[in-house]
């Protein structure tokens, strides 16, 4: 099942990047000739993940965790790891790492997650990028955040649909509305995922129906 899910996600990522960046993005540039740096995307998203947790020692370390947002941030990171693997033509290395990884559910621990996030930032900042190492650290981080692979797949499908929807509705030129009747579109997406089975087309239609009926 993990193999099928991984192949599905690689195919969807290829299609999304084709639509967003243009055919030939694997060479490192968008259709507008802008540089693509997926490694930078990975470590910047890691920073957003860390900021979703109560890590600041000068604030309350007993603050509640927004686990939903943490998992969405993980899926955002995963988009860029998939993209990096495709760009480097290392899909097999990514698949092999997932196949060999021992998925052990662990209780979320702030220090463990912070350390794994630091490792992922460090590894994705290196001059020589190692997709196997990057993927393995990500999978450890995923387990530490109580995100199972089937759940990763489900949220990934949803976020892939949302990213495509954003592009189709003016995200790149700044006309897209990210706030939907007082809620971020990520929150709306998460609610839809809890209510429905995974279906790319129906999820897109549901997003479109909500979006076209937004109150200004």
Would residue 172 count as lying in a domain? no
Q: What pLDDT is stored for residue 89 in this prediction?
A: 96
Would residue 73 count as lying in a domain? yes
Would residue 196 count as lying in a domain? no
Tokens of 210: 């909500």
Would residue 194 count as lying in a domain? no
pTM (2 d.p.): 0.90
CATH number at residue 125: 1.10.4010.10
Q: Span 86-114, mean pLDDT? A: 91
pLDDT at 104 over 90: no
Would residue 206 count as lying in a domain? no
Backbone angles phi, psi at 172, to 5 degrees: -75, -35
Backbone angles phi, psi at 29, to 5 degrees: -140, 145
pLDDT at 203 over 70: yes
pLDDT digits (tens, 9 = 90+) for 138-174: 999 999 998 999 999 999 999 999 988 999 999 988 8
Q: Which residues constitute the domain of residue 56?
A: 2-155
Number of domains in the chain: 1
Q: What pLDDT is stored for residue 67 in this prediction?
A: 80
């Amino acid at each position: 099942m993990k193999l099928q899910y991984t192949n599905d996600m690689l195919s969807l990522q290829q299609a999304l990047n084709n639509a967003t960046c243009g055919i030939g993005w694997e060479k490192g540039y968008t259709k507008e000739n802008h540089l693509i740096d997926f490694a930078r995307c990975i470590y910047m998203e890691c920073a957003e993940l860390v900021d979703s947790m109560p890590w600041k020692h000068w604030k309350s370390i007993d603050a509640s965790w927004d686990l939903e947002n943490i998992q969405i941030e993980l899926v955002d990171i995963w988009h860029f790891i998939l993209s990096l693997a495709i760009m480097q033509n290392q899909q097999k290395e990514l698949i092999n790492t997932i196949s060999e990884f021992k998925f052990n559910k662990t209780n979320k621990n702030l220090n463990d997650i912070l350390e794994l996030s630091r490792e992922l930032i460090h590894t994705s900042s290196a001059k020589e990028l190692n997709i196997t190492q990057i993927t393995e650290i990500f999978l450890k981080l995923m387990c530490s955040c109580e995100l199972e692979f089937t759940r990763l797949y489900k949220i990934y499908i949803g976020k892939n649909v949302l990213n495509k929807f954003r592009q189709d509705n003016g995200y790149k030129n700044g006309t897209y509305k990210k706030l939907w009747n007082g809620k971020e579109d990520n929150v709306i997406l998460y609610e839809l995922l809890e209510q429905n089975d995974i279906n790319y087309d129906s999820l897109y239609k549901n997003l479109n129906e909500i979006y076209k009926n937004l109150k200004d």
